[in-house]
């Protein structure tokens, strides 16, 4: 478990410089609601707010590698705790990086590390769209689904929709 966590953190830290160095990279900030469907692990029931930021750099014309750091804060469950969330996210963009289109739809998935309450490693998948208002500024709309198994062994699902701003680096 410790090796998996260290590997995830190394990949996350490596992805930020990659986003800054690539000519078609970007950084972003986001926020949005997260719903946790009812489960036997009652500390996770309820609604959360997910906020954070990240970056992404294109490795090829359509494939990219990104990373992000954020926080999940409980809104409706007094027993839940605020936790940190770090993710490494490979992505596929449906539009070429050389395109002049304003819409940039993508799908992504990867691994996340949840810090707090003992921590856990999660997998996630999702998709969304960057809408470029100007050449280096845009809006980001994204769906994200994290799945992990805490000490109870039951799968917990974090289902969220995020809205953010995007700043192009190249």
Q: What is the pTM of this model?
A: 0.80
Q: Compute the distance between CA of residue 153 and CA of residue 82 in angstroms, rounded to an integer.
A: 21
Residue 10, SS3 per DSSP:
helix
Q: Compute the distance between CA of residue 19 and CA of residue 128 in angstroms, rounded to an integer.
A: 18
Domain range summary for the chain, segments of one domain joined by +: 2-168
Q: Does domain 2-168 have CATH number 2.170.190.11?
A: no
pLDDT tens by residue, 55-87 = 999 999 899 999 999 998 888 766 677 889 999
Other beta carbons within 10 Å of 157: 15
pLDDT tens by residue, 26-47 = 999 999 999 887 654 555 566 8
Q: What is the pLDDT at residue 162? A: 96
57 closest CA partner among 26, 94, 84: 26
Q: Compute the distance between CA of residue 90 and CA of residue 63 in angstroms, rounded to an integer.
A: 7
Say which residues have a Cβ less than 8 Å from residue 2's Cβ, sequence separation at least 6: none
Q: Compute the distance between CA of residue 159 and CA of residue 53 in angstroms, rounded to an integer.
A: 18
């Amino acid at each position: 478990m410790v090796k998996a966590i260290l590997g995830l953190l190394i990949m996350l830290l490596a992805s930020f410089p990659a986003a800054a160095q690539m000519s078609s990279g970007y950084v972003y900030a986001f926020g949005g609601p997260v719903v946790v469907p009812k489960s036997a692990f009652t500390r996770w029931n309820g609604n959360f707010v997910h906020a954070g930021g990240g970056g992404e750099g294109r490795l090829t014309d359509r494939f990219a590698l990104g990373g992000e750091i954020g926080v999940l804060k409980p809104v409706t469950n007094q027993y839940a705790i605020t936790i940190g969330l770090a993710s490494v996210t490979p992505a596929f963009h449906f539009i070429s990086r050389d395109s002049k289109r304003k819409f940039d739809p993508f799908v992504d998935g990867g691994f996340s590390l949840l810090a707090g309450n003992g921590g856990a490693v999660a997998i996630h998948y999702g998709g969304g769209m960057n809408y470029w208002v100007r050449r280096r500024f845009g809006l980001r709309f994204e769906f994200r689904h994290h799945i992990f198994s805490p000490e109870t062994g039951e799968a917990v699902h974090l289902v969220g929709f995020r809205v953010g701003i995007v700043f192009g680096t190249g």
